[in-house]
Structure 1
Amino acid sequence: MTLLEIFPSLRSGGMPPRLDSAIWPRDTHYDDAGRITIGGVALADIADQYGTPTYVLAEREVRERCRAYRAAFPEAEIYYAGKALMIKAVADWVTEEGLSVDVCSAGELAVALAAGVEPARIILHGNGKSFDELEVAVQVGVGRIVIDSLAEITLLSALVADSQQVMLRLSPGIDVHGHPAVVTGVTDQKFGFPLGSDAAAEAVARILRQPKLRLVGFHCHLGSQICDPDYYGEAIRRMVAEMAGVRDDHDHLLTHLDIGGGHGVPYRCGDAEMNLTDLAAIVEDALDAACARRGFPRPVIAIEPGRAIVARAGVTLYRVRSVKHIDGGHTYVTVDGGMSDNPRVALYGARYSVVVANRHPTGPHMTATVAGRFCEAGDILATDVQLPADLRPGEVLAMPCTGAYHHSLASSYNSVGRPPIVAVRKGVSRELVRRETMSDLLSRDIGR
């Protein structure tokens, strides 16, 4: 029996407009029954087949966003930032579209290699890389390793048998005025070396003294959810000046400059986002001006989009478990997921929109708070969202723009298994990552 049979009122008499492609996959539509479809598959059908919560991932959206970056930056090296969502299918899709892959742990490296990514197309990041992680990266032949501390120089010099390309991460001292947890370009933070500091100069000198380490360039990352491209222009000007200093002081030419990622995406209608055309123009202008001023050969630019590739390709499905109206207070719609599958609300105060997926409501709406099922007062998924006043338990809710940092940050809090990832394309759904089961959780518990 389907939800339409249980709730006849779910049927819609007309075709509503398409959902906003700024936050939904571009092939999101409504079918004749008023149900939301992505990639030609009804989300309500996915909920019935795979259960809820479930992450839905639109393959076409991922591929098209890769192509948009390739078109905007035809001469740049584009690395997909795997920490946003590192699974084998996504690694496969992005490399097929011409991108390379950025990893920041041995686990992410293992996923990329399992997906068949060529080691030479992988760059390894991280501010606390272990000896074992560096050893594996050297052994498999990753293309570049970004050095984040003096200790890593010592470790790599002992591990590399032949030659290894490295970059040095610098903090250019640029504050993008975002959430403190995602601002990484300021001087006083855990990543890299402050640009122009004695520590940075010492790191350069140490690397250049190691014949097996080939310092090919500098790396920086300004933060996340940046929508103003001017920050990247300023970063380029400062970094090129530092590269020219290395040439002048050490007679060593750095040929690559990685300006990181962090390009902003909208999570709700009306939110700002990074304009790739504007970003590309500012990068070009800043490179031309900085290189001309310093008499420095134009370096190869690398960028690292992650969230901007996968965020809008993802939609999370939940089932309503209860609707609770508090006299003089809020209306709480409790669903079967929450902070274990989407911790970003609790971590960063992220805000999302939520809609009913199994029907297009035509009646009155209510202002509601969507609450998670976990035993924490802070387990709230969305506040002040408009949902049908006649919403009932069993209906399916969809939360868009959940492709990035949801599966990656998911936990098994309250011993609840993590959701599956289901891909949709051309009317077909397929499971990419299965749901975590009770057996999975118990398999790690050795007992007394």
Structure 2
Amino acid sequence: MYLHGTSRINDQGHLEIGGCDVTDLARNFGTPLYIVDEALVRQRAREYVEAFRETGLKFQVAYASKAFCVMAMCRVAEEEGMSLDVVSDGELYTALQAGFPAERIHFHGNNKTPEEIEMALQANIGCFVVDNFVELHLLNAIAAEHGKTVNVLLRVTPGVEAHTHDYISTGQQDSKFGFDISNGTAFRAVEEALKQPQLKLLGVHSHIGSQIFEVEGFRMAVEKVAAFSIEIRAKLDKTFSVINLGGGFGIRYVEGDSPLPVGTYVKAITEAIIASFTSADYPLPEIWVEPGRSIVGDAGTTLYTIGTSKDIPGVRKYIAVDGGMTDNPRPALYESKYEAVLANRANDAAKEIVSVAGKCCESGDMLIWDLNLPPVETGDLLAVFCTGAYNYAMASNYNRIRRPAVVFVKDGQADLVVARESFENIVGNDVIPERLRKQAVAK
């Protein structure tokens, strides 16, 4: 059994995270329950900040809030010296409500609406990452209406394909994101950006994918972006002050996953930056990165209560939990793999292979296939590891199932940071037209 961060098995044979027995957490907060190991989140953030600080280069480490965006997480990111990237008005609103400094917020997205741009301008955020020509002109026009000049990066696709799932690869030429370098679109975008009086072009942004376990893709991206930057300086007399290499740093979900230490990624990126730019006598740019999954992914655990089971002799045994694809859609989307443990009987010998089904009315609502567990009983607690990224963030109300609560645990203290949805929340936005209202029956 591989345990992350502060997780351990205590003397009662129970899983403990952040000094909190998860059986107590289940009793106090109910299940399903997202449990976040706050100490591990802070450790991951510090690994990035300290690794870059040791290089002596200018940098920003921006937490990619799409991985897990709640106000408490925004507070932790700020306290750990991170910037923040957002991709919607909802994420921006969350950050602002949490008191995150607007000047350290970067706004991403391939289809920012005029309303989102207005909101971000009014908040005086630090930078827009511009994704296409429509946005380029729209942002300039709205900024002009407000009498503001805004910092921008242009998102470019360097033509580097990360070895990851097709749905989370973004740096290749055929992508919905960014301006392509190889076909000249990115060059035209720089030309156009330099003509916009309200836009201050800082540099470029690239992101090659997610859940990456090697550094070669990052090195290649740096080389492509550096060559592009040098071309821009030579032909347009524009020197970039910022190069953003995005995120995508992998984590361990299951045995066989081999993420590199944070320092290895940072060393590869910074060495490639130094080599590529100094050889051209180009001023070293400030380096920005955007880790998300690698900050919160392995710090999250989802706790379920096991309900029913179904044994098909010679085929498979299913056990069902009180959550599923509503709180973790990743297995259905990406065939993502997870490890899990019986949290209330963690020392019992594993004797049977089971498959973990969710409670949604979908055959595809499977969380884990072929999991080795002790004989399971109704009421046991199942803890699924590494659910901190893109689980709460992608949760839904399919089948009108309520989203789980979220707790931060640290030093034996458990703090509720997101309350479990109520039935009132579920119908809170519903409106029944007058013509459909139940009429009183005349007596």
- Residue 282 of structure 1 deviates from its aligned partner by 1.4
Q: Give the match for residue 440 of structure 1.
A: 425
Which digits, 9 at most, give the CA deviation of each residue in 1:134-175, with x for residues without a partner? 111111111000010111111111111221100000000001
Q: Give the match for residue 255 of structure 1.
A: 241
Q: 352, 355, 368: which one pairs with 1:369? A: 355
1:123 and 2:94 are equivalent in the alignment: no
Q: Give the match for residue 203 of structure 2.
A: 217
Unaligned runs of 5+ in 2: 434-443
Q: 301, 308, 329: which one pairs with 1:322? A: 308
Q: Give the match for residue 412 of structure 1.
A: 397
Q: 1:434 corresponds to which letter in structure 2?
A: A
Tell me if structure 2 keeps the 8 A contact 1:147–1:166: yes
- Residue 198 of structure 1 deviates from its aligned partner by 3.0
Question: TM-score by structure 2 length?
Answer: 0.94
Which digits, 9 at most, give the CA deviation of each residue in 1:106-154, with x for residues without a partner? 1100101111111100000000111111111111111000010111111
Q: Give the match for residue 119 of structure 2.
A: 136
1:100 and 2:83 are equivalent in the alignment: yes
Q: 1:280 corresponds to which letter in structure 2?
A: V
1:386 and 2:372 are equivalent in the alignment: yes
Q: 1:256 corresponds to which letter in structure 2?
A: V
- Residue 63 of structure 1 deviates from its aligned partner by 0.6
- Residue 241 of structure 1 deviates from its aligned partner by 1.0
Q: 175, 180, 205: which one pairs with 1:194? A: 180
1:399 and 2:384 are equivalent in the alignment: yes
Q: 1:248 to 1:385 in 2, by over 3 A?
A: same
For residues 158 and 356 of structure 2, the distance between their equivalents in structure 1, rounded to whole angstroms, comes to 40
CA RMSD of aligned residues (A): 1.2
SS in 2 for 1:37: strand
Alignment of 1:236-251 (within 5 A): 236-251=222-237
Q: Give the match for residue 409 of structure 2.
A: 424
1:351 and 2:334 are equivalent in the alignment: no
Q: Give the match for residue 52 of structure 1.
A: 31
- Residue 295 of structure 1 deviates from its aligned partner by 2.3
Residue identity over aligned pairs, in percent, reads 38
Alignment of 1:120-199 (within 5 A): 120-160=103-143, 161-199=147-185
Q: Give the match for residue 3 of structure 1.
A: none
- Residue 308 of structure 1 deviates from its aligned partner by 0.2
Unaligned runs of 5+ in 1: 1-18
Q: Give the match for residue 18 of structure 2.
A: 39
- Residue 364 of structure 1 deviates from its aligned partner by 4.9
For residues 410 and 350 of structure 2, the distance between their equivalents in structure 1, rounded to whole angstroms, comes to 33
1:68 and 2:50 are equivalent in the alignment: no
Q: Give the match for residue 205 of structure 1.
A: 191
SS in 2 for 1:362: coil
Q: 1:154 corresponds to which letter in structure 2?
A: H
Which digits, 9 at most, give the CA deviation of each residue in 1:328-362, with x for residues without a partner? 21010111100000000000000001110012343
Which digits, 9 at most, give the CA deviation of each residue in 1:62-102, with x for residues without a partner? 11111111111114210000000010001100110110100
For residues 435 and 362 of structure 1, the distance between their equivalents in structure 2, rounded to whole angstroms, comes to 31
Question: TM-score by structure 1 length?
Answer: 0.93
- Residue 437 of structure 1 deviates from its aligned partner by 1.5
> Aligned residues, how many?
426
Tell me if structure 2 keeps the 8 A contact 1:241–1:294: no
Tell me if structure 1 keeps the 8 A contact 2:152–2:201: yes
